[in-house]
Amino acid sequence: MFLIIGYVIVLAASLGTYAVHGSLAALWVPMEYLAIVGLMIGGFVASNGVKAIKATIGALPSVFKGSGYNKAMYVDLLALLYELLAKVRKEGLMSIEGDIENPESSPIFSKYPSVTADHHAIEFLTDYLRMMVGGNLNAFEIENLMDMEIETHHTEAHQAPHIMAKVADALPAFGIVVAVMGVVNVMGSVGQPPAVLGKMIGGALVGTFLGILLSYGFVAPIASQLEQKVEEGGKIYQVIKVVLLASMNGYAPQIAVEFGRKVLYSTDRPGFVELEQELKSRKG
């Protein structure tokens, strides 16, 4: 939603203010637009492999959606972790084997649809719970493995915003290319009347204008939005990590989830008493 609002403001500030003292018709040079878009798409395709292209195109729709990572979701996550660890403490590790093997049909996981909607996070959680069920683990080694897996996930997730940022960086240069092409065309028509030459020069400059506008007004905000969503989506892994490690080090479920609460962003973090009351109410 804010992306659309931002686009409207950008267009109003650029085209709107220009229309006050100029003609918008002068900016309509279809071949300049076609050249800029073609160069942008060509550069994007030439710079990336099939996997990167698919990942970037697949990530673009997310910029128009709201974030599911909010305070309510994290309360659900902490409640889910608490319930799983409380069951382990009461009935033993083997008691959650059925839950982690089939989380879709688990009575525990099914209570928290906002969490299970993130399939990658659920896979991360169940994989390490499965390892805990499987035998004795060294918490230090598991922490290193978690860190490496989280780093791999973040590297893959950052691919789309990095690619869009590079596209944004290239657009002003593409605008210059189009403008130079237009100037070359003008130089080949020096015998034309001044009015004709002026129109041709104005059309050439549209390329520069369009390249800069698309870069900083349209593509760069998409890269920024994607970057923010990647950062938001990475916090859930850190929460799961610290809670499971706290449990492996012998802390009670109530204390383990407190570890997870403390790593949350301040805007998404429930208070200590708030979380405690929420866990009690769900348990009751």
Average pLDDT over residues 194-202: 68
Helices and strands of the chain, counted as H and E runs = 14, 0
- Rounded-to-integer distance, Cα 254 and Cα 256, Å: 6
Do 126 and 100 meet the contact criterion of CB atoms below 8 Å apart?
yes
Instruction: Evaluate the CA torsion angle 273, 274, 277, 282 in order and state its sign.
Output: negative
pTM of the model: 0.82
- Rounded-to-integer distance, Cα 215 and Cα 169, Å: 7
pLDDT tens figures, 124-144: 999 999 888 876 778 888 899
Residue 107 corresponds to which tokens in the numbers above? 């009575």
Residue 20 corresponds to which tokens in the numbers above? 């006050």
pLDDT tens figures, 4-20: 899 899 888 888 777 77
Residue 161 corresponds to which tokens in the numbers above? 């915003």
Residue 78 corresponds to which tokens in the numbers above? 């902490």
Query: Which range in 127-141, 181-195, 237-251 is most confidently predicted, on average pLDDT?
Result: 237-251
pLDDT tens figures, 90-110: 988 888 988 888 888 889 999
Residue 175 corresponds to which tokens in the numbers above? 């605008």
Average pLDDT over residues 51-69: 88
Q: How many residues does the chain have?
A: 284
